[in-house]
Amino acid sequence: MTRTLTTACPRNCYSTCGMRVTVEEGRLRRIEAHPSNRATPEAVCLKGLSYVERAYAKDRVLHPLRRTASGNFERLTWEDALELIAEHLSRLRAEPQSVLFYAASGTKGLMNGAAASFWRLYGGCTTTYGDLCWPAGLEATRLTLGANEHNAPWDLANARLAVFWGKNAAETNVHQMAFVQEALDRGAEVVVIDPRRTETAERATLHLRPRPGTDGAIALAVAHRLIERGWVDEPFVRAHVLGFEAFRESVRTRTPAWAAEIAGVPGGQIERLATLLGTVKPATINAGFGIQRYTNSGQALRAMIALLALTGNVGKPGAGWMFANLKSQVFHPVKDPMAFYPPERPDGVFRVSISTALLGPHMLATSDPPLRMAWVERGNPIPQNPETPTVLQAFRALEFRVVVDEFLTDTAREADVVLPAKSMFEQTDVIGAYWHDYLQIKQKAIEPPGEVKPESEVYRLLAERLGLPTEAVARELPGRSDAEVEAFLEARLRVVSPALTLERLREGPVRAPGAMDVAFADLRFPTPSGRIELLSEEAARRWGVDPLPSWREPAEWTGGESAKPHRYPLHLLTPNTKNRIHSQFGNLPSIRALDPEPVVRLAAEDARHRGLRPGDRARLYNDRGALTLRVRVDHGLRPGVVVVHNGWWLSEGGAVNVLSKARETDMGFGAAFHENLVEVEKA
């Protein structure tokens, strides 16, 4: 029997593709794009296609496992696994906050809420605040525009100028490139600001390759130039922008020459960027996530948004700021970055005390009670969080670790008990997105293989075994049958909109309530002043930064405790590739065939100075750690910058965070782990 079902990809990715999955005789056969998702109508990416391989991968965890004394894993029955976990949870229940619950972005969905419900019933736990990914940018946007919303993805085709500031859409948001080409075919200009000559840069009419961490300086100099040349949309600024005069004063000395010196790009290129922004309309700035993982990056993004405010490029088709669109985050409060912040009044149940950016150091420093156990799901924090060696040390210092995963990741390998996680095809769920604004169903298409149980069921079983109050468990945690799961979801959909049902979502993606093609079209900004705030008192109060966008040297340059810029002259960039979502997918044979081993890319002159030739083995190091990798020479890379792609595992010898520093961004409790200076030598 062949069935075709609507589903969607729940990974942490801009595209969040709508999908149609074909199932033959109970087995996945193929994945195609769902044509009614206008943002991803043509096709899914190579990773989405590889799900057919992923669901049936030979190395998938299909049974509970226990780590043996020799470090191998042996199979455990569910009965024994639950008993073992329940023993530890019962023992620690007097001090529930000695248990760390850590979840990351591995799988999105409404069903993930079961975790918080379980831990609340258990009596609490310790959790994290902040996020690895995007908080500085979310906060910069919230402070400036009042909300994280942007124009619909397809609206980019209306832009006459599309600036990609640190975003390589061709690899991380491939569907956006269709709209880029549409804009190009209509005569648009594309600007790319990226130290790498990326695939996206191949379409650019202007490509700046700045020193990493200097984007804010460039933005301020562009603002200086826009003001100097009279390219400010004065009626717009008068009506809708707060703090223009103060900002004008503050950028008076921020000349292109000043920024050129800092960023290491020709002043003429900065002037050309200003000319384009001043004279070509409508203009959209697409900011990537990588550029806001610095200690000065919230301020940098505020400066970028200011460029659009000055030129009136807000609230119009083809114009605006594209960072993240949280319109479809209707179920849980990601809508506002403040959801990532520690609560102002702790509820006494959850101890929200561990900064995600500082996971390792904070875990080790936690006391009263200290952490004794960790439960990790949807994440692989050991290679993916800053300062991998400290994270590893912190996990090893615990008494007991449970990791829920589809594969034996670096983190799962450290667990005492590994529980098999469902794949995206094995339980129905509903997901939002952050580039387009569709709500989508992620449907159960096949029965879980082996002894895999969805997490919600595991929590239910654990709750029973721990003797948690039956009524509360029945109320808070979804039941085990498909019908109960669907009822759980329906109840939550109804709250959002009566028209929103699973039946409707099975037909195809649905745009979130209030979705619109042009964000801020009414020019009402939910900021304290109701205007676009170049001057933000809240920024100063909450984060201790200059109330105006400004630039200061990243902490790593000025020589923090472990940074020695003179000894480590190279900036390490760790961008994502099309082949993985962070540390996912790289283990699949098809992906491995395309991307077999981690490499370090060096500019030709940096390689030459170190006597390195293509294919040589090189040691990449700083005071925090070292990696030994093969060399590729990249003639398009800015000299002084080296690149290792993010997502390789420790066991593959390419985990980039052995070199990074646990440090927070200037705002939003993000991780500033892209400030990373290293040296390279022949191995």
Q: How far apart are the first and last CA of the chain?
A: 56
Sheet order of strands, 206-208 included: 206-208, 189-193, 161-165, 283-287, 320-322
**At its nearest, how many Å lie between another protein and the CB of residue 507?**
21
CB of 273 to another protein, least distance (A): 11
Q: Is 92 in the site for another protein (CB under 8 A)?
A: no
Phi then psi dihedrals of residue 285, to 5 deg: -110, 120
Q: CB 456 → another protein: shortest distance, Å?
A: 29
**Residue located via tokens 């990773």:** 47
In the complex with another protein, the residue whose CB is nearer, 174 or 441, is: 174
Q: How far is the CB of 528 from another protein (least distance, A)?
A: 41
Q: Is 40 in the site for another protein (CB under 8 A)?
A: yes
Using the rule CB under 8 A, give the single segment among 294-302, 369-377, 379-387, 628-636 that binds another protein.
628-636
- Binding residue (CB under 8 A) for another protein from 63, 592, 610, 619: 592
- Name which of 40 and 295 has its Cβ closer to another protein: 40
Residue 633 as a binder of another protein (CB under 8 A): the answer is yes
Which residue, 57 or 338, is less far from another protein as judged by CB? 57
Query: Among 286, 224, 279, 225, which Cα is nearest to 251's?
Result: 224
Please report where in the chains the tokens 């649905």 appear, as a residue: 510
Q: Does 465 bind another protein (CB under 8 A)?
A: no
The percent helix, strand, coil of the chain (3-state, each to 5) is 35, 20, 45
Peptide bond between residue 256 and the one before it cis (omega within 30 degrees of 0): no
Q: Which of 553, 586, 534, 577 is nearest to 672 (CA)?
A: 553
Determine the Cα–Cα distance for residues 573 and 516; give it in Å rounded to an integer.
35
**Which one of residues 67, 327, 531, 578 is an interface residue with another protein (CB under 8 A)?**
578
Strands of the sheet containing 417-420, edge to edge, are 73-75, 65-67, 417-420, 400-405, 373-377, 99-103, 125-129, 350-355
What are residue 147's DSSP bridge partners? none
What is the 3-state secondary structure of 137-179? HHHHHHHHHCCCCCCCHHHHHHCCEEEEECCCHHHHCCCHHHH
Among 36, 78, 120, 181, binds another protein (CB under 8 A): 181
Q: Please, which residue, 32 or 546, has the CB nearer to another protein?
A: 32
Determine the interface stretch with another protein among 159-167, 486-494, 560-568, 633-641 (rule: CB under 8 A).
Answer: 633-641
Provide the H-helix boundaries in 241-332.
244-250, 256-263, 267-279, 297-310
Q: How many residues does the chain have?
A: 683
Contact status: 25 vs another protein (CB under 8 A): no
- Asked if residue 35 binds another protein (CB under 8 A), the reply is no
For residues 660 and 678, what is the distance between their CA atoms, to the nearest angstrom? 9
632 lies in the site for another protein, by CB under 8 A: yes
Q: Check residue 615 for interaction with another protein (CB under 8 A).
A: yes
Of 93 and 632, CB closest to another protein: 632
Shortest Å distance, C-beta 306 to another protein: 25
Single residue of 637, 658, 659, 678 touching another protein by CB under 8 A: 637
Residue 619 interacts with another protein (CB under 8 A): yes or no: no
Is the CB of residue 144 less than 8 Å from the CB of residue 536? yes
Interface pick for another protein out of 81, 147, 204, 620 (rule CB under 8 A)? 204
Q: Which is nearer to another protein, 31 or 159 (CB)?
A: 31
Binder of another protein out of 34, 142, 203, 436 (CB under 8 A)? 203
Residues of span 254-273 touching another protein by CB under 8 A:
266, 269
User: Which residue number, 459 or 585, has a Cβ lying nearer to another protein?
Assistant: 585
| Tokens matching residue 122 | 């258990």
Closest to another protein by CB, 39 vs 143, is: 39
Instruction: Look at strands 241-242 and 283-287 and give their pairing.
Output: unpaired
Task: Tell the residue number behind the tokens 């098999």, with chain if given.
Answer: 420
Tell the smallest beta-carbon distance from residue 15 to another protein (Å).
Answer: 8
Of residues 33 and 251, the one with the C-beta less far from another protein: 33
Q: Which residues bind another protein (CB under 8 A)?
A: 30-33, 40, 42-46, 49-50, 52-53, 170-171, 174-175, 177-178, 181, 184-185, 189-190, 197, 199, 202-207, 266, 269, 578-579, 589-590, 592-594, 604, 613-615, 630-637
